[in-house]
Chain A
Amino acid sequence: MIVGNRKDFGEILEKLGPARRVLVLGCNECVTVCGAGGEREVGVLASELRLCWKKEGETFDVKEHTLERQCDYEYIDQIRGFVNDYDVILSMACGAGVQYVAETYKTKLVLPAVNTTFLGVTIEQGVWSERCQGCGACILDMTAGVCPIARCAKSLLNGPCGGSSGGKCEIDNELDCAWQLIVDRLKEAGRMDRYEEILPVKDWRTGRDGGPRRRVREDMRL
């Protein structure tokens, strides 16, 4: 899933400036699961805004609404009927959702309330960890299912580096060294012969270095 982090209240207030008619817009997908921008977080942020502005004696109108997704037009379209009652849409979706909402309602000020952080997994309730950087040419078959692009601090294709010690990465002694994990798993699977092969230089054109990406499936188009 896409993992994000709610922005600090102070930063959100600053971005809002003088706007007091605010539509706090959540998303029911990834940001709900990682507790950053689902219906509950919409409730918390809206509540914070109301408490803050009541304290200041301001007149305001804060509406809470959560869409199934903010990355599909058909859902974004559902707020068309009331979106003009608000000065600002405070989107709690990932960056993709914020942008699609902004593209759809061009005359509206659309602000992000979440910092979109990474593609990852739930380690345990309340803990998430990065797993993939969307490089566009997956090599997990070569690395025993551990991604060195996302999980090695240096994104080394042939590791580990000299900083690997006791299974931990030199940048943080709480962080597993991805290459230690790869070697451990190759050993477990009896596939250490794979480790002898040198991985070639990666063609980053499939990743971000090739510019913004787009995917088309002709057979699915209408």
Chain B
Amino acid sequence: MRLSYPSNVKVVKVPCTGRVDVLLILRAFESGVDGVYVAGCLEGECHFLRGNLRARRRVEYVKGLLEEVGLGGDRLEMFNMSASQGQRFAQFAQEMTERIRLLGPLPVRKAPGNG
């Protein structure tokens, strides 16, 4: 298909979105990324039956945490697509990139000695 998607999107491969846990998402934000989205298989088509459904619940949970912290839940999203829907993959990458551009970079103020 040779589709292109924004080069700012960094893909982290996991065997199934069921592997994506709360800490993994938080650590991504801590490492300084401005947004995270989880790309799961279509609902009802998980090889492990419920991996993508569980991932969605965790995404919802972490959205709540991001709201609490004041970073906003919109910086995180879950999308579903099948392995053959390269078009949708590129489209979501575009959509998310635009959304995060509007939100701006993750608010981080420089302070000396932050660990």
Contacts and interface: CB of A to CB of B under 8 A. Distances in A.
Do chains A and B stick together as partners? yes
Given A8-B68, A55-B108, A61 B115 contact: yes
Given A51-B66, A54-B109, A59-B114, 8 more contacts: A40-B23, A47-B29, A48-B26, A54-B108, A54-B114, A57-B110, A57-B111, A60-B114
Interface range, B side = 20 to 34
Interface string B14-31: 000000001100110110
Interface in B15-50: 22-23, 26-27, 29-30
A10 B26 CA distance: 18
A59 B26 contact: no
B24 to A, nearest CB: 10
Contacts of B112: 59
Interface string A183-216: 0000000000000000000000000000000000
Interface residues of A, number: 21
A206 to B, nearest CB: 41
Interface string B56-83: 0000000001101111000000000000
Interface of A: 8-10, 40, 43-44, 47-48, 50-62
Given A44-B22, A48-B68, A55 B107 contact: yes
Contacts of B65: 9, 44, 48
A47 B109 contact: no
